[in-house]
Structure 1
Amino acid sequence: MRVPVTGPHGTPIISHYAKLHAHGQHPKAVVEIANICGLMMVEGQMDPFAASSRGLGDMLKVVLDEGIRHVVIGLGGSACNDGGMGMLAALGVQFYDERGHTLFGCGADVLKAASVNWSQVDSRIMECELIIASDVTNPLVGPSGATHVYGPQKGLIPEMMEPLDQAMARYGRMLEVANSRGSTHSHLFSPGSGAAGGLGFALQSIGGRIVPGAEAVADLTGLKSAIRESDWVLTGEGKSDYQTLYGKLPMYVSTLSADFEKPVVLISGSHGEGIASLYSHFAGCFASVNKPTTLGDCLEEAENLLLQCTRNVARLIQASQKMG
């Protein structure tokens, strides 16, 4: 379903959601963050202070207008680090700076937020079952939170990490205190609240429930049975580094493989900081990039590079089996 929404930098874009119909059940919507405020949508123009999650709020309002009250939201690959302020603002939550000026809802506005008013929030959102599919377990704030861990890949410079993280903590506490739903449980440090620049936190504040995305997909695809019947397991992702440990898909595959005592190999586009921390979880970690080159060339040659790398891994597996 094609929908006009606010893009990551505040300009109108056309995004989409999937509308699922199951016999005898109410329709469901599946929404993907990456095609609303995704990192790939701002390639070459990354600015976590300008980026906003407002488009997700726009999308949810359209879904609500369609009468849908069950929504699955896939978090990942977002360009924003606004704690979900943009999404909440689009849904009617009002944020103000110290002078009482209304805030749009972007990364920079997290630094300015002084007060919040929940009275105008779209009440229909509270009727929804919001399933938050996320494979990261980072909290909203702190050394392993959204800003410190994922901020750099969104363009955040080192000297702004701590100020933004502190502002995010103030924003989060302010939001929870003002929320009339009155939960005594804080989500600032709950697993997954830091997903998608803090969207996990904001969605939880309106009743969303986080579930492991990898586990959900594994159940749908019969992954456990496939691993049980295999001799070796191959998995992969775009870039592997210390962030892979935070509940990313390869780690879930590694855990399943360990349960069935199957060796698992990780094949990635490239390696980054902390790759050595993955060695205890995989029989081998391989990068498909085979020479100094540009990102553009890597993307253009991705299929061939992956084929070459996987062929080499298969040859090693074959040789190991021959050796007994």
Structure 2
Amino acid sequence: MKRALVAPDKFRGTALASEISFAMADVLDRAGYQVGLFPMSDGGEGLLEVFGGSNRSAVVTSADGRRIIAPYRLDGQTAVIEMAEAAGLTLAGGAANNDPLYATTKGVGELIKAAIFAGAKKVIVGCGGSASTDGGLGAIEELEPVVRLKGIELVVAADVEIRFSEAAREFAAQKGATPAQVALLTQRLEALENHYFQRFGVDISSLEGAGAAGGLAGGLAAIGGHIVPGFEVAAEFNGLYEALEGASLIVTGEGFLDSHSFLGKVVGRVVSLALEHGVQYLVVVGDCDPQVKENRRDRSIIFSLVEIVGEEQAYRATLESVRITLESALKLHGLGSL
């Protein structure tokens, strides 16, 4: 029996990665495949789910200064944190309600500290979905004196590949920043690079991924954190790399395909792995930027729920729409026995 793998990211706002995985697996099972499920995350929202969900919580400061309860996971001496649970844009009420100049990562520092006090010796911080562009300053100030991190392995799971000073130019507008505010935030980040070098002796200016979560990744790197692609953290944990051997098909996807999807995000990483291992792949997304799809040589394997079932059904009945869309993709490419 042929083996197929499903390795989607979440469809933000409509379905978890695990829910999308089960919907895809249902179709592939009926098509005659032996299916392996690997719900994924790029280090942003959904990383906790990959590791089994939260089992602890702490009261921390949100990006807009409120006191909130933030979940995290502690297994033995390993903690998993999503920065978005403390300083996420969704928690701040979206871009329209966010204050991009004052949004803070203070709560992320509080959450890291809580995990360490609970016994963690290794802390994995998922960097994605942020409201802030403070370069991690709020978190670092909360963790001072950083000597308390001695003996702690701090893994910074980045969801993008941009450098520290690029964070505002690339993503601050999505967090509600005006062009003038983007320029000011960029100046702040450039000043912080120098401050971190003077304070901690670490040059983060050329670190790939340091701009993740509004520069939080770079800030944590300055105090000893190790930046790694969030996708790798998830894939190593759930065994995706090993599962690729002998697979004949892999299906991935996300809520919206855009130019960033192939720059460190789940879809781009899965496609690269498939090409590396010579595995047939399909991409099923909620919707996509038509220009991005048109510019792809592999555009014939990209399928959008909105294109197949329409926008209303894609949002109202996402999981059923995933099933319909994947079934159409398999039939079009003559894959399986539907």
Bin for the TM-score computed over the shorter chain: 0.7 to 0.9
Overall identity of the aligned pairs, in %: 28
Three-state SS of the structure 2 residue aligned to 1:303 is: helix
Q: How does 1:265-280 map to 2 (within 5 A)?
A: 265-272=282-289, 275-276=292-293, 279-280=296-297
Work out the CA distance in 1 between the residues paired with 2:294 and 2:137. 34
Q: How does 1:130-279 map to 2 (within 5 A)?
A: 130-141=154-165, 145-179=166-200, 182-183=201-202, 186-272=203-289, 275-276=292-293, 279=296
The residue identity in structure 2 corresponding to 1:51 is A
The residue identity in structure 2 corresponding to 1:270 is D
Decide whether aligned partners of structure 1 residues 281 and 146 sit closer, same or farther in structure 2, where only a CA change above 3 A counts: farther
Contact kept? 1:264, 1:283, Cα under 8 Å: no
Contact kept? 2:125, 2:156, Cα under 8 Å: yes
Deviation at 1:298, TM superposition (A): 5.3
Matching residue of 1:118: none
The residue identity in structure 2 corresponding to 1:266 is V
The residue identity in structure 1 corresponding to 2:332 is L
Work out the CA distance in 1 between the residues paired with 2:298 and 2:86. 33
1:47 aligns to 2:99 (yes or no): yes
Work out the CA distance in 1 between the residues paired with 2:213 and 2:231. 16
1:314 aligns to 2:338 (yes or no): no
Decide whether aligned partners of structure 1 residues 213 and 11 sit closer, same or farther in structure 2, where only a CA change above 3 A counts: same
Higher mean C-alpha displacement, 192-201 vs 221-230: 221-230
Work out the CA distance in 2 between the residues paired with 1:18 and 1:279. 38
Contact kept? 2:163, 2:208, Cα under 8 Å: yes
Q: How does 1:65-80 map to 2 (within 5 A)?
A: 65-80=117-132
Matching residue of 1:18: 73
1:125 aligns to 2:149 (yes or no): yes
Deviation at 1:280, TM superposition (A): 3.5
The residue identity in structure 1 corresponding to 2:233 is A
Contact kept? 2:293, 2:302, Cα under 8 Å: no
Unaligned runs of 5+ in 2: 1-55
The residue identity in structure 2 corresponding to 1:155 is G
Contact kept? 1:56, 1:87, Cα under 8 Å: yes
Contact kept? 2:123, 2:153, Cα under 8 Å: yes
Instruction: Count the aligned residue pairs.
Output: 279
The residue identity in structure 1 corresponding to 2:152 is C
RMSD: 2.5
> Of the two structures, which has the highest relative contact order with CA contacts closer than 8 Å and spacing of 6 or more?
2
Higher mean C-alpha displacement, 37-46 vs 11-20: 37-46
Three-state SS of the structure 1 residue aligned to 2:244 is: helix
Three-state SS of the structure 2 residue aligned to 1:234 is: strand
Q: 1:30 aligns with which of 58, 65, 80?
A: 80
- Higher radius of gyration, 1 or 2: 1
Three-state SS of the structure 2 residue aligned to 1:42 is: coil
Contact kept? 2:305, 2:311, Cα under 8 Å: no
| TM-score between the two structures when normalised by the length of structure 2 | 0.75
Three-state SS of the structure 2 residue aligned to 1:41 is: coil
Work out the CA distance in 2 between the residues paired with 1:229 and 1:76. 32
Contact kept? 1:279, 1:285, Cα under 8 Å: no
